[in-house]
């Protein structure tokens, strides 16, 4: 990589994600500096970014922040600026109020606004241009998530020499739902610019290839899709016909279930001070027989209301008593400027207030509701203190909280109650699997978890831990990137398929 006034520095491995992996923090003296944000993606890619000549393209997280590229902890950061209107339209609008509800099976009503779409296209173009500008010849670019689905197509057009991967962190919906999207063809064409398109679940990959067949009539077989090269039957005309025997490009659409940075969770859980904090939490809660825990961003996909309903009914029926059981619900603040999230917060807080008012006693609160974010040490202490972990998502790409809970429980204690609608349930079969819409079923599972004999808990947790410990996030990225490398070296464009 070389640098001078006109030629930007170039890189052979580039991550493109909505957010840069750093947060801006202000220290005591009032100086601004960057701190690595602790997400799983950073953990997965950090070793690779540091060992290769890697760069990360992303938004710094606030409007109107215009920054030159900078280096932080050996990773080259390439900031993309968004103005206030783009934050509203591209991010809060099209990403979080159109695609997010649509891709989570319309749990909330998606809004379709043409200005939001226009902004989405413009911002995707900015990300794609930045990546195209800094990519070495033949470089690998890995694009992440629903905010940037047009980037693979834009990059392929500008830079056919690149190897392009895409990973979708959230579900991909069935065609009957996806087809609501007024810009459904543009999204599929955008994604098909990648060589490998990764999904959380086998079902998500299947939904995608079905959408490809329905919208474009391209041939697909298992995880493979054959995309005509230079096809004029594109998104703008909607013409599905393409010439037989014309050159095709092979695209892989497959499931690569994401995981967590297992080692860091296992190590935190072993720390004496974290274990002491777990005991202190139990103490502070008044030493209940059972601590139940929920940890979620305050999001309507997480099924927090369904969980509270089940818990409230168990208290009302006298099957649980606040003397014995308490529920700690961490609901970390999220997307607070989007209307559906404001409404959700009101609903949840009304429900918590009612349940606490109806069933609490002096000294025994039914629900400890915490609308706050916490350091990771505190989260792990909570996992260690929790006898029952409740994951009741109505739809969730994976759900890392379920895997974090399992990773921390080296004592083989604790029971995981897990929604079938979270991607994690494909792997974590030894959890108590529930359908969160079936409130009686959730109640049964909660009671069963509380009463579960220690031997059964150990047996289940041992099996769950085996799955999580064998599949950490570094392995996830290695498997994805290996497939990406193979997809381009072994299968160039051909006339055969």
314-427-256-401 Cα dihedral, nearest 10 degrees: 40
Q: CB 286 → ligand GDG: shortest distance, Å?
A: 23
Q: Which of 222, 238, 353, 373 binds ligand GDG (CB under 6 A)?
A: 373
In the set 141, 330, 382, 428, which binds ligand GDG (CB under 6 A)?
Answer: 330
**Does residue 387 bind ligand GDG (CB under 6 A)?**
no
Size of the site for ligand GDG (CB under 6 A): 19
Closest approach of Cβ 228 to ligand GDG, in Å? Answer: 31
Task: Look at phi and psi of residue 287 and say left if phi exceeds 0, alpha if psi is from -120 to 50, else beta.
Answer: left
Site string for ligand GDG, 395-424 (x = CB under 6 A): -xxxxxx--x--------------------
Q: Which is nearer to ligand GDG, 128 or 379 (CB)?
A: 379
Pseudo-torsion of CA 205, 136, 61, 196, nearest 10°?
0
Q: Is residue 212 a contact residue for ligand GDG (CB under 6 A)?
A: no
Q: Which stretch binds ligand GDG (CB under 6 A): 106-114, 176-184, 271-279, 370-378?
A: 370-378
In the complex, least distance from residue 491 CB atom to ligand GDG, rounded to whole angstroms: 27
| Nearest to ligand GDG of 334, 435 (CB atom) | 334
Would you say 135 or 274 has its CB closer to ligand GDG? 274
Positions in 163-192 near ligand GDG (CB under 6 A): 169-170
In the three-class reduction of DSSP (H, G, I as helix; E, B as strand; rest coil), residue 385 is classed as helix
Question: Which C-beta is closer to ligand GDG: that of 398 or that of 446?
Answer: 398
Contact between 332 and ligand GDG by CB under 6 A: the answer reads yes
Question: Given the structure tokens 């599905």, which residue do they identify?
Answer: 240
Which long-range contacts link 277-286 to residues 24+ away (Cβ below 8 Å)? 277/377, 277/378, 277/381, 278/381, 278/382, 278/384, 278/385, 279/385, 280/381, 281/381, 281/382, 281/385, 282/385, 285/326, 285/328, 285/368, 286/326, 286/363, 286/364
Query: Rounded to an integer, what distance in angstroms lies between the CA atom of residue 410 and that of residue 407?
Result: 7
Residue 40 burial (CB < 10 Å; 0-12/13-18/19+)? buried
| Per-residue contact string for residues 270-309; x = within reach of ligand GDG by CB under 6 A | -------------------------x-x------------
Q: How far apart are CA 14 and CA 166, in angstroms?
A: 12
Site stretch for ligand GDG (CB under 6 A), options 89-97, 261-269, 373-381, 426-434 = 373-381
CA gyration radius, the chain: 24
Nearest to 47 by CA among 78, 75, 22: 75
Q: Where on the phi/psi map is residue 145: left (φ > 0), alpha (ψ -120 to 50), or beta? A: left
Of 58 and 397, the one with the shorter C-beta distance to ligand GDG is 397
Stretch that binds ligand GDG, among 71-79, 156-164, 262-270, 392-400 (CB under 6 A): 392-400
> Which parts of this chain interact with ligand GDG (CB under 6 A)?
169-170, 258, 295, 297, 330, 332, 373-376, 379, 396-401, 404
């Amino acid at each position: 990589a070389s640098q001078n006034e006109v030629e930007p520095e170039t890189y052979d491995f580039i991550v493109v994600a909505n957010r840069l992996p750093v947060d801006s923090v202000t220290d005591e003296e009032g100086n601004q500096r960057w701190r690595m944000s602790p997400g799983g993606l950073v953990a997965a890619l950090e070793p690779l970014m540091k060992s290769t000549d890697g760069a990360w393209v992303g938004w710094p997280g606030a409007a109107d922040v215009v920054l030159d590229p900078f280096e932080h902890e050996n990773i080259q950061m390439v900031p993309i600026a968004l103005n206030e209107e783009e934050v509203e339209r591209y991010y809060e609008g099209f990403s979080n109020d159109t695609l997010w509800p649509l891709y989570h099976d319309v749990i909330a009503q998606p809004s379709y606004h043409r200005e939001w779409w226009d902004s989405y296209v413009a911002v995707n173009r900015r990300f794609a241009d930045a990546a195209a500008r800094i990519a070495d010849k033949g470089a690998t670019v890995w694009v992440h998530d629903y905010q940037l689905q047009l980037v693979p197509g834009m990059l392929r057009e500008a830079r056919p020499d690149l190897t392009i991967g895409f990973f979708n962190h959230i579900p991909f919906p069935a065609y009957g739902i996806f087809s609501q999207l007024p810009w459904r063809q543009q999204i599929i064409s955008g994604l098909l610019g990648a060589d490998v398109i990764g999904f959380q679940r086998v079902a998500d990959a299947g939904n995608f290839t079905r959408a490809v067949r329905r919208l474009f009539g391209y041939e697909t077989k298992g995880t493979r899709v054959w995309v005509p090269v230079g096809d004029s039957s594109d998104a703008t005309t909607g013409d599905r016909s393409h010439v037989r025997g014309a050159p095709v490009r092979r695209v892989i659409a497959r499931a690569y279930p994401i995981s967590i940075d297992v080692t860091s969770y296992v190590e935190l859980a072993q720390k004496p001070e974290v274990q002491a904090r777990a005991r202190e939490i139990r103490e502070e809660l008044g030493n209940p027989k059972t601590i139940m825990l929920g940890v979620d961003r305050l999001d309507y996909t997480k099924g927090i209301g369904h969980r509270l309903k089940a818990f409230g009914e168990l208290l009302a029926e006298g099957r649980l008593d606040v003397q014995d059981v308490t529920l700690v619900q961490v609901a970390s603040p999220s997307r607070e400027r989007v209307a559906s999230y404001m409404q959700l917060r009101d609903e949840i807080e009304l429900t918590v207030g009612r349940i606490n008012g109806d069933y609490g006693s002096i000294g025994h609160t039914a629900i400890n509701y915490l609308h706050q974010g916490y350091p990771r040490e505190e989260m792990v202490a909570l996992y260690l203190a929790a006898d029952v972990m409740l994951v009741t998502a109505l739809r969730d790409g994976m759900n890392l909280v379920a895997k974090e809970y399992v990773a921390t429980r080296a004592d083989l204690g604790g029971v995981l109650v897990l929604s079938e609608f979270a991607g994690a349930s494909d792997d974590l079969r030894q959890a108590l699997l529930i359908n969160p819409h079936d409130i009686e079923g959730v109640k049964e599972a909660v009671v069963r978890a509380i009463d579960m004999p220690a031997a059964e808990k150990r047996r289940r947790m041992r099996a769950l831990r085996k799955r999580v410990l064998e599949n950490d996030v570094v392995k996830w990225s290695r498997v994805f990137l290996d497939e990406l490398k193979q997809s381009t070296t072994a299968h160039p464009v051909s006339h055969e398929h």
